[in-house]
Every structure is written in C-alpha cells, then in structure tokens.
Amino acid sequence: MSLQSYSLRVNGNIYKVATHPMMRLLDVLRFDLELTGTKEGCGEGECGACSVLMNGELVNSCLVPVAQADGAEIETVEGLGQDEKLHVVQRAFLECGGAQCGMCTPGMLVAAAHLLKKNACPDLAAIREGLNGNLCRCTGYMRIFEAVERAMSSTAEGRG
Amino acid sequence: MGQEKIVGKPMLRKEGVAKVCGRARYIDDMTMPGMLHGATVRSSIARGKILGVEFGAGIPWDEFVIVTATDIPGANEIAMINHDWPCLAGEVVNHAEEAILLLAHPDRHLLPKAVAAVHVSCEEWPAVFSIEESERRDPVVWGEDNVFKSFLMEKGDVDAVWTLADRVVEGEYTTGAQEHLYIENNGAIAVYSAEDGLTVWGSLQCPFYVHKSLVKMTGLAEEKVRIVQVETGGAFGGKEDYPSMIGAHAALLAMKSGKPVKIVYDRAEDMAATTKRHPSRVRHRTAVTRDGKLLGAEIEIALDGGAYSTLSSTVLSRATIHAGGPYYWPNIRVRSKAFATNYPPYGAFRGFGAPQSLFAIERHMDHIAEELGIAPDELRRRNFLKPGLETATGQEIREEIDLDHLMGRALAEADYHHKRERFARENAGAESKKKGIGFAAFLHGSGFTGSGEKYLNSLAAMDVTSEGKARVLVSSTEFGQGTNTILCQIAAETLGIDFDAVEMGPPDTSVVPNTGPTVASRTSMVVGKLVHSAAVGLKKTLLASSLLGEGCSTEEFVMAARTYVAQHGALRSESRYEAPPGVHWDDQLYRGEAYAAYAWAVYVAEVTVDQTTWGVTVDDFVAVQEVGRVLNPMLATGQIEGGVAQGIGWALYEKVMWNRGRMGNNQMTNYIIPTSQDIPPIRVFFEERPFGHGAYGAKGIGELPMDGPAPAILNAIAHATGRQFDSVPLLPEDIFRQMAVREPEREVVTL
Ligand code: FES
Ligand code: FES
C-alpha cells in the first residue's frame, strides 16, 4: 500500500506525516512524532495505556487508524503540562502517589483530566466508572482515586 | 523514632515528575541509529524433538538476520541456580513457546509475517501437564524423577502426636498460575562491537543477574558486558529471571548483525511465553486438642515448576518455611517438592511461594475452627507465635511482636464481630445476595532465606557529583515500588541534608557495585542499611577533612563535597553486608534463623456472593501490618494497596486457561485483572515497631500484601455461603460447579 499524507494537530502543534492509512495513531505519535509519553500495554483496546483525547473524546490510540485521525485535534500526556507548569491532575498524582511504575500513568492522567472536564465534581462511583477503561497493576487504584479527588478540590479552590 | 526529618515522611517519588509528564524513558521509548527489530520463533508443541526448520516462500530472507542455537558463542544457558534452561532450543523442546530461532529486520512490520513463515517440524513426545502426572512420572520429563528440588523441615516428634490428639483435621488446598501482567511488556536493546563489548538496556529488576547470565552465554570477559536498567513499567518478580532470556536473544542478534537490536514483546507473546506464579497443591494433617491447641502438623507441599528449574528451588524453600503460618507448632513436619511439567517455566512472583503456603494454612485454620466449634479468631489467639517461642525452623522470636493485638486491631477496624453475627443472621433469610466476612493472619520473612544474604555479600556505595550532590550507588532498581525515593531518604537523613541534594546513580553494572537483586522485600531493610553505613562513611570523610563541621546545612555540605572532589578527584564510601548477630542457618537440616526479620499482618475481607450469578464482590478490605519502621507512609501504603489488589485478582479473577501446555487466554480481554470498579476500599494501617537491624528500623514490605487477600476472601465466602472452597482462583463457574453438588463429608477423625 502506498504512503499517504496526514495532518494532525497534537497538543496545539500541527504535524504532517506520510504513512499507511491503517497505521495506528499510537505508532504515529510514538514513532513518527516521537511523543513517547503515550504507552502501549495491550494493543487491543483493553488497558487504556494508550489513551489520548481526539477532538475532545477519550480514545484508545491503539485502535484508531491514522486515516481516521486526519485533521483531528489530539491531546496527549505531554500536552497536559510539563515540569514547572504541571496540570492539576499531574500534581495531584505526584502528591498522592498515584503513579508507581508509571506505565499506566499517561493514559490514566489523560482519562482523569477528561473526567474532570466533563464532571467537575465526580463522586467516588463516578471516578471509578470514569477510569474503568484504564488498568493499573501497581497501585490498587486507591491513590489514583485520592489524586482525582485532590485535583477536583484544588480546582474548586481555584488553585488549578 | 520521631526525630527524623526525612525518614518516615511522605517524600515525593524521585522520578515522579518525569513519570507524570510522560518524560520517563522505558525500553520501547528508546531507539538507536540503524537499529533492527528482533522477533522469536517459538515451539507450538509442549514436548518433542526438532526435526527441521523451513523458511517459507514470500519473505525476503536474505534481508533478515537469523540466529539459532548453533550461533551461541558460549554456553547455551540462561544462568540460574541449575544449568538446564537453554537460551534457544537445540534438538528438543520441553514447553510450548520455547524459543527456537531468532529473526531481526529493520522493518518491524515485516517480522510477524516472517515469524509465521518459519515452519519448525517436530516429532511430538508425550508431555506432563499436572503435578499428579509428574509425581507418577508419567512420563519422566526432567532428570531421573521429575523432581527439581525437595525439602524436609522437621521439628519435635510429629509421629507421636496423633494418639494424643482429640481431633485430626485434614485438608487439601490448591492454587493456580498467575500472570504478572505488568503493564509494560518485557523488552531489551543490545549493542555489540568487538572493541566495546556488549551493552544491553532493558526493563529488568536485577542487572547483575542478567550480567552473569550474558557473560556465560557470550563467553565475553565480565568487563566486556554491561547491563543498564531503564525505566521499568512494573515487574512483581516477572522481571527477575526472564530479562536474562530476552536480553540474551537481543545480544545474539546484535552480535551476529553488528547492529543495535531491539526486542519488545507484544502482550500476547509476553503472556504466553514468560514466567508466572507457581501453581501449588498443599495437604495438611493437623493434630489438635478439643480446646484448640495445635499439637502437630504434617504438611506436604507440591509446586508445579514448569519445564525448567529456573528459581523453583528457592520459591519452594520460602513456601516450606512459611507453611506453618504465624503459629507455634511444638511438632511439625513439612515435606515439599517442586515438580517438572511441560508448561513454560514458572518463576518469581511477589511472595515467592509464601502466598501458596499461607493460603493453605489460613483456610485450614478456619476448617479446624469450624470442626472444633471455636471462633476463628479464638483458635488463632490460642496458637500465635510470641516472643520467646520458636518457629518451625527453631528460630526464637526475638522481635516484640504481639499478634493478638494486631488481630484485635484489624477485627475492630473491620467491625468483624458485629458483622460476623449480623451477616449470619441476615443470610438465613436472604435469597439473592449473601454476605460474609473473614480474615487471615500471616507473616513474611524479609530478605533472602537462610544464608542467602551472606552469600550475596552485597556492596553499596555513595559518592558525590562534581556539583556536590550526594549520589547513591546500588544495583537495586526502581520499578514502581519506590527504591529511588526510599534509598535517597535514608541517605539524606543520615547525611543531614535535604532530600533534593541526594540523587540515585544510574542502574548500570559498569557504574554501580553489586548490591544483589531487587527481590525478596530486601531493599528497604538490607540495602537500606548498607546505604545508611555508606552515608555515615561519606560524612566521616568530610568531617575528617575539616571541610565540614557537625550540624552542617545542605549548602555547607554541597560546598564541602565540591571542594573535596576538586582537591582529591573523588569522594566515595562503600559498605558491605554483615549479618546481624546471632543469625545462624543450617541449609541441610533447615534449622535456624530463616530470616533476619519477619513482617506480620492480619487482613480482613468483607464479601457479597450473588446467589444467581455466583459473582463475588469484595466490599471492604482492612489490612493491618507490622513492618518495622515505615520509611515513607505514602509509598508503603501504595505498596500494600497494590499487593492487595493483586491478591484479589489471584483469588477471584485471574485464571490461566491451558490448552495442551499453551496459554489459551493470553490477552487482556480474557485474562481478567481487577479494574477500578472491582476493588473495594482498601484500608491500610501500620503498627510501627522499629527493627533494630534495618535502616531506621525498616523491615520488608513489598511481598507481604500478596499473602493475605486470597485466604481472607475465601474465608469470607465460606462465611457467606456455608460452603468450603479450597482452591483459587475461584471464579463464578467454580462456585456454581461446587454448589451444584452435595457438600462432601469433611475428613475429620475423632479419636
Ligand atoms: S494499548 Fe491501547 S488499550 Fe491497551
Ligand atoms: S503505576 Fe504501574 S501500572 Fe499503574
């Protein structure tokens, strides 16, 4: 199959890539754009390590062919925040111990930020449901729930 | 305890910012110029003779690098305890997914097609797929008798107790394989040149294990082999043994091609081919008095070790020592064996044999309680180990442990007594859902078993950087548990400087000394102590140089360290392991101090059993433990919660489905681990009793939480349903199957 050219807007920057239409968005991000923050855990839509936002919707980038993402607005963990300017959920994960090995963390952060955007004050049941597409093998999820709650209250206090 | 400024505080994870920013570099995030991608051709049968290999049509084979067993320059062996685990199968295969041939190509998308186009023809031989078949030697598939290792541990005179007993209670308990399911799969990158030798970067726990194995496999000099751990996305024991295999495969392809080679497994390959938790069968026969005093036990442990011996003997050793649980046995005999089968080799997994043994004893204690009509907590209270009493290996308990108190606290936190009574009452009329509450009491030995730490002879060091920062130099690795943070806390506290003024050296065998492997809950207690001594040494040197006075500030330390390095070229201090006094171990008789210290715990689970679907949900979980001093409460709590979640998975969800020795459900879609909606509130409590010989009083934590959930949950299910389940994993279909048949008579002998 011949290469086609696609244009993506990732974390606010426009990128053009020439690749196969069925190439996974995950691979394009990781290998073509060298945005390796987004991880692969299963490659089949189960673990959520590859979660990104596509036009504001939470998707598993391992299931999205790049052709489908052409022209789309993509947000990855790198776009949430960096060092001095951490996003409120990044800071909360750091302070609550929400990241252990860190492998589920990028996807979990994107999902958590998305959850808080849709619902500024989710209760515990809503947090559990909002993150049920993101598997973590290290934390047992407790610190992650706590982190989301902390991010929620610090946003409410206007710190975020 | 209490005066410290950094130890005991919830310091933030050292590599935390890199992790939350997506900047932490894992193996699959790395690439190198000219790099090839490697893949593995594996056996589709469990046992047989390799007759030939054909390379099918439609693949440009001349573009591929191809490696077989004949390309191995040194020993065709992954160096473990024995010498039976080949790096690549030569003439025979002993398990499905055994590696036979390696391929590398610049285009990773071509590899799956190429792997599928290699046809290995084999003569299939009869294989062994259960402990029972292996026991019957039906047929012999390893050595002379299928036995990798056996132990006999004996105390008192067990044969004399049966006639003294009011009751003899028997039981058989089994546990299944468990996949680690770290979210990052195994991976390695190798680079080789004749001049610089071999470097392997990998997702791994034990850089020097891989080093030892690759020196042997390549025949290169020790200094020509360098192993570097990169950020590792979970391990749980699963990256203790296997990285030596994938590292060796990447190395062989790199040596043959002269190019960098990366091998990263996808999920299906990782699940099918790499190690898992040993399945077990444990039989108990216990002599008790009418009022619940344990007189003696005969315990028989059988582990399925898989096709090669790997770490089975040490897993079996820990299973053996933990078999009697946290109880005083005047007489006990434990016979244990690890058997060969034709499954992919089982390996290290958090708990390392102890969860299997402790599941058995803690279910068995509930059986005994029921037989005697004594409350489960009362039976345990009457038999707990106490200071001054001796364990099954004859080790006198010298720690100030009070298990009765620990149990009391756990039961109170869970509102156990009240709920026990209320659920029993309400279940009588309940049609759709029944509730139950149960608990388990247990212990976990910290560090290597017996003389293990002495043989390891670990060395830790500290130095300072040219900027005057203190640096911890150890081979202990970070894979989520908090090694980096804890060791920097210990060093900073000891030096009396800020946490931020201490950093970790790179986990690179060419830079750090061999501090032993990152396993066995040994990092905080054993390595932490070494880092503490190395920090003391570093500070002494600076004080002696009169560049620094007592009670210095961080700025003064940094200045002094910088000046020292400028004047002397380097500042470095080392510390070697010394066994705590009074630690003696007899490897032959299995007598003596099995572990320098134990962690102790009582976990309580509350469950609901749906009477229509037989689904079990865990509604509440209380974990109370004594792990010595808690060095970082946030990280320690996270370790306990994560271990409990894995224990819940092992108990209720995670079933490996085998099909003639091949894993049939090697996908996250059908091998189910707990999600954010399956985990109950996990309420973690620490009793802090500083241990005299650990760094700032620490003992081991990492593995302990894997031991308690399965027996606590099954004890709760027995309470809810009135039926006894003695096997994990316990899925709804397993409960249904057993509920459909009449409850068998329990084997109780009244004398
Ligand atoms: S890698 Fe996409 S869901 Fe697991
Ligand atoms: S932190 Fe390791 S998988 Fe979530």
Same domain, B244 and B307: no
pLDDT in the model for residue B749: 59
User: CB of B186 within 8 A of CB of B262?
Assistant: no
8 Å CB contact of A101 and B183: yes
Let me know: does A15 contact A33? Beta carbons within 8 Å: yes
In a domain, B647, yes or no: yes
In 3D space, the residue among B413, B392, B411, B395 whose CA is nearest the CA of residue B403 turns out to be B411
CB atoms within 10 A of CB B59: 18
Residue B258 sits in the same domain as residue B383: no
The answer to whether B183 contacts A99, with C-beta atoms less than 8 Å apart, is no
CA distances from B684 to B224, B377, B438, B606 (A): 47, 20, 17, 15
Residue B154 located in a structural domain? no
Buried b (16+ CB within 10 A) or exposed e, B308-320: bbbbbbbbbbbbb
Query: What is the best residue among A24, A25, A60 to mutate for testing ligand 1's pocket, by most ligand atoms within 8 Å of CB?
Result: A60
Strand, coil or helix: what is B331?
A: strand
Alpha-carbon distance B214 to B575, whole Å? Answer: 27
- pLDDT of B744 strictly over 90: no
What is the spatial distance between Cα B397 and Cα B154, in angstroms, rounded to a whole number? 18
> Does any ligand 2 atom lie closer than 6 A to the CB of residue A103?
yes
Residue B495 · residue B538 · CB < 8 Å: yes
From the list B334, B338, B336, the residue with the least C-alpha distance to B303 is B338
Residue type, B248: A
Distance A61 CA to ligand 1 centre (A): 7
User: B583 versus B358: which is more confidently predicted?
Assistant: B358
Mean pLDDT on B669-697: 95
pLDDT for residue B208? 97
Cross-chain Cβ contact B267/A44 below 8 Å: yes
Q: Cβ neighbours of residue B622 under 8 Å, at least 6 residues apart?
A: B410, B413, B414, B603, B604, B683, B685
Distances (CA, A) of A16 to A4, A5, A7, A71, B394: 10, 7, 4, 10, 70
Question: What is the domain range of residue B78?
Answer: 31-126+180-273
Q: Do residues B314 and B372 share a domain?
A: yes
pLDDT at position B497 over 50: yes
The alpha carbon of residue A154 is apart from the nearest alpha carbon of chain B, in Å, by 18
Residue B6 domain-assigned (yes or no): no
Rounded CA separation B636/B651 (Å)? 22
pLDDT reported for residue B451? 86
* CA distance to partner chain B, nearest, from residue A15 (Å): 19
**Token couple for A126:** 């809503």
Q: In the 8-state DSSP scheme, what is residue B308?
A: S
Of residues B652, B566, B669, the one with CA closest to residue B615: B652
Quote the CATH superfamily of domain A4-77. Answer: Beta-grasp domain (3.10.20.30)
With contacts defined as CB-CB under 8 Å, which chain A residues touch B679? Answer: 140-142
Answer yes or no: are the C-beta atoms of B435 and B473 closer than 8 Å: no
Stretch B634-642: mean pLDDT, rounded? 98
CA distance A98 to A75: 21
Tell me which fold the domain A88-156 belongs to. DNA polymerase; domain 1 (1.10.150)
Mapped onto helix, strand or coil, the DSSP state of residue A101 is coil
First-last CA distance in chain B:
52
Residue B745 confidence class, pLDDT cut points 50, 70, 90: low
The whole-angstrom separation of Cα B466 and Cα A152 is 42
Count of alpha carbons within 13 Å of A153, Cβ hemisphere only?
7
Nearest CA to ligand 2 atom 2: A101
Predicted pLDDT at B750: 54
Residue B2 lies in a domain: no
- Residue B608 lies inside a defined structural domain of this protein: yes
Are B26 and A103 a contacting pair at CB < 8 A?
Answer: yes
- Ligand 1 pocket list (CB less than 6 A): A 40-43, 45-50, 60, 62
Q: What is the whole-number distance in angstroms between the Cα of residue B183 and the centre of ligand 2?
A: 7
**Total-model pTM:** 0.97
Test mutation, B14, B183, B236, chain A, max A CBs within 10 A: B183
pLDDT (tens digit per residue) in B33-45: 999 999 999 999 9
SS3 B214: helix
Q: Report the pLDDT averaged over residues B216-221.
A: 98
Question: Could you tell me if the CB of A136 is within 6 A of ligand 2?
Answer: yes
Same structural domain, B592 and B607: yes
E strand or H helix that includes residue B750: strand B748-750
Q: What percent of chain B has pLDDT over 70?
A: 98
The domain spans of chain A are 4-77, 88-156
Query: Do residues B603 and B634 share a domain?
Result: yes
| Per-residue confidence (pLDDT) for residue B583, from 0 to 100 | 77
Percentage of chain B beyond pLDDT 90 is 92
Rg (CA), chain A: 16
Q: Among A36, A46, A137, whose Cβ lies nearest the Cβ of B182?
A: A137
For the residues B176-196, what does the mean pLDDT come to? Answer: 98
| Residues B74 and B211 occupy one common structural domain | yes
> Is 80 exceeded by the pLDDT of residue B751?
no
- Please tell me which residue, B298 or B449, carries the higher pLDDT value: B298
Whether residue A95 is predicted with pLDDT greater than 70 in this model: the reply is yes
Q: What is the pLDDT of residue B584?
A: 87
Are B444 and B464 in the same domain?
no
Cβ(B39)–Cβ(B112) below 8 Å: yes
Rounded CA separation A30/A40 (Å): 9
- ipTM confidence score: 0.98
Tell whether B139 is covered by a domain. no
Interval B613-635: pLDDT, tens: 999 999 999 999 999 999 999 99
- Map residue B126 onto helix, strand or coil: coil
Q: What are the angstrom distances between the C-alpha of A63 and each of A24, A107, B270?
A: 7, 14, 20
Tell me which amino acid residue B292 is: G
Distance from the alpha carbon of residue A43 to the mean position of ligand 1, in angstroms:
5
Q: What pLDDT, on a 0 to 100 scale, did the predictor assign at position B396?
A: 95
A2: confidence class by pLDDT, cuts 50, 70, 90: confident
- What pLDDT shows up at residue A160? 42
Q: Assess whether B94 and B226 both reside in one domain.
A: yes
The type of residue at B82 is N
Q: What is the pLDDT of residue B746?
A: 58
Question: How many structural domains is chain B composed of?
Answer: 3
Distances (CA, A) of B112 to B34, B115, B171, B594: 20, 5, 48, 48
Q: Does the pLDDT of residue B748 top 60, yes or no?
A: no
Contact B180, B234 (CB under 8 A): yes
Collapsing DSSP states into helix, strand and coil, what is residue A84?
coil
Residue B447 half-sphere exposure toward CB, CA atoms < 13 A: 30
pLDDT digits (tens, 9 = 90+) for B246-262: 999 999 999 999 999 99
Helix (H) or strand (E) holding A120: none
Under 8 Å between Cβ of B605 and B437: yes
Going by pLDDT thresholds of 50, 70 and 90, the confidence category of residue B502 is very high
Structural domain includes residue B698: yes
Q: Which residues contact A30 (CB under 8 A, 6 or more apart)?
A: A36, A38, A40, B28, B29
Residue B339 lies in a domain: yes
How far apart are the C-alpha atoms of B9 and B631, rounded to whole Å?
Answer: 7
List chain B residues with CB under 8 Å of A104. Answer: 183
Q: What pLDDT score was predicted for residue A110?
A: 98
For residues B501 and B539, what is the distance between their CA atoms, to the nearest angstrom? 14
Q: Are residues B324 and B421 in the same domain?
A: yes
Q: Residue B559 Cα, ligand 1 centroid: separation in angstroms?
A: 48
Task: Tell me if B641 and A82 make a contact (CB, 8 A cut-off).
Answer: no
Q: What is the CATH number of the domain that holds B490?
A: 3.30.365.10
Q: Does position B2 have pLDDT exceeding 90, yes or no?
A: no
B429 and B290 share a domain? yes
> Any residues with CB less than 8 A from the CB of B450 and at least 6 apart, and which?
B317, B585, B587, B592, B593, B594
Here the tokens at position B344 are: 């992919």
Same domain, B79 and B102: yes
Q: Do B15 and B24 meet the contact criterion of CB atoms below 8 Å apart?
A: yes
Shortest-distance atom of ligand 2 to CA A49: 3
- Contact list in A for residue B21 (CB cut-off 8 A) is 37, 77-78, 80-83, 86, 90
pLDDT at B128: 98
Task: Assess whether pLDDT exceeds 90 at residue B705.
Answer: yes
Mean pLDDT value across chain B: 96
